[in-house]
Amino acid sequence: MQDLKGTILQKIKEYQTIICLRHVSPDGDAYGSAFGLAQFIKDNFPNKKVLVDGEPSYFLAFLATPNLVQQEDYQGALVIVTDTANIEQIDSKYWQKAEEVIKIDHHPNMIPFGELQWIDETKIAASEMIAELVLTSSLTVTPQAARLIFTGIVTDSNRFMYSKTCQKTFMLAGQLVATGFDLQSVYQNLYEDSWVNVRFKNYLLSQVVVYDDQISYVKITDEMLKEHAMNYETVKPWVNIMSNIKEFKIWMWAIENKVEGYINLSIRSNAYIINGVAEKYYGGGHQLASGAKIYQWADLEKVLKDLSSVIKNNIKYMEG
Task: Summarize as ranges the residues that interact with ligand AMP (CB under 6 A).
Answer: 23, 25, 27, 85-86, 89, 266, 282-286, 289-291
Q: Kindly state the smallest distance separating residue 284's Cβ from ligand AMP, in Å.
A: 3
> Cβ closer to ligand AMP: 45 or 262?
262
Residues 6+ apart with CB under 8 A from 37: 20, 80, 82, 104, 130, 133, 134, 149
- DSSP string computed for 164-219: T--HHHHHHHHHHHTT---HHHHHHHHH---HHHHHHHHHHHHT-EEETTTEEEEE
Q: Kindly state the smallest distance separating residue 283's Cβ from ligand AMP, in Å.
A: 4
> Cβ closer to ligand AMP: 44 or 269?
269
Amino acid found at 265: L
> Cβ closer to ligand AMP: 36 or 42?
36
> Cβ closer to ligand AMP: 22 or 42?
22
Rounded Cα distance between 319 and 162, Å, is: 11
The closest of 72, 31, 67 to 50, measured between CA atoms, is 67
> Cβ closer to ligand AMP: 66 or 283?
283
> Cβ closer to ligand AMP: 280 or 305?
280
Q: Kindly state the smallest distance separating residue 186's Cβ from ligand AMP, in Å.
A: 20
Q: Kindly state the smallest distance separating residue 89's Cβ from ligand AMP, in Å.
A: 5
Q: Kindly state the smallest distance separating residue 91's Cβ from ligand AMP, in Å.
A: 11
Q: Kindly state the smallest distance separating residue 86's Cβ from ligand AMP, in Å.
A: 5
The closest of 131, 88, 135, 137 to 106, measured between CA atoms, is 131
The beta strands (E) that lie in 69-135 are given as 78-82, 100-105, 116-119
Q: Kindly state the smallest distance separating residue 216's Cβ from ligand AMP, in Å.
A: 15
> Cβ closer to ligand AMP: 152 or 283?
283
Q: Kindly state the smallest distance separating residue 25's Cβ from ligand AMP, in Å.
A: 6
> Cβ closer to ligand AMP: 42 or 236?
236
> Cβ closer to ligand AMP: 26 or 66?
26
Question: Running DSSP on this structure, what letter comes out for residue 59?
Answer: T
Q: What is the Cβ-side half-sphere exposure of residue 161, based on CA atoms within 13 angstroms?
A: 7
- How deeply is 138 buried, as exposed, middle or buried, from its count of CB atoms within 10 A (0-12, 13-18, 19+)? exposed
Q: Kindly state the smallest distance separating residue 257's Cβ from ligand AMP, in Å.
A: 11
Amino acid found at 213: D
Q: In what side-by-side order are the strands of the sheet with 49-52? A: 49-52, 17-21, 78-82, 100-105, 116-119
Question: What sign for the dihedral angle of Cα 144, 149, 150, 154?
Answer: positive
13: enclosing H helix or E strand: helix 2-14
